[in-house]
Structure 1
Amino acid sequence: MRTNHRLAQLWLDALATELGAAAGTIATYTDDLTCYLGWLKDQELGLDEVTLDRVRDYIANLDRRGYAGSTIARRLTVV
């Protein structure tokens, strides 16, 4: 699952350097990615194995855990 974390870090670096995202934005996306990567690890999935059904499973998991709709929508952006 190291590849997942490497790819996530590359994406965050691109947001910061190429798009000039603010530090707060990067911090929020980092938290959202950490949540998603943790879920992927629990599911024993790599990023290259994610399907639409798995994304739906992730959303359902967030909903069951009581996250607000706005938080779920934001977390979905990192997917």
Structure 2
Amino acid sequence: MRTNQRLAQLWLDALATELGAAAGTINTYTDDLNCYLTWLSEKSLGLDDVGLEQVRDYIAGLDQR
């Protein structure tokens, strides 16, 4: 889902440029977003498909790790 990647990158860019987030913060968010985007891709979901149920499923999956 290319749109997911593009939207995530726009958010990261804004975080860095507009809010002045540190490089370490950007790296951490990048790692977390990549995990989330991978999960979305495995479920064939776009960011616009995500609701409360999907967020709960993702968090439950994190607890199982």
How many residue pairs were aligned?
A: 65
Please name the residue that 1:30 is paired with.
30
Q: Deviations over 1:27-61 (max 9, x none)?
A: 00000000000000011000000010000000000
> Percentage identity across aligned positions?
78
Q: What residue in structure 2 maps to residue 48 of structure 1?
A: 48
Question: Normalising to structure 2: TM-score of the pair?
Answer: 0.99
TM-aligned CA deviation for residue 20 of structure 1: 0.2
Could you list the runs of 5+ residues in structure 2 that have no partner in the other structure? none
Per-residue deviation, 1:22: 0.2
CA RMSD of aligned residues (A): 0.3
Runs of 4+ in 1 over 4 A off after TM superposition: none
Please report the TM-score for the alignment, with normalisation by the length of structure 1.
0.81
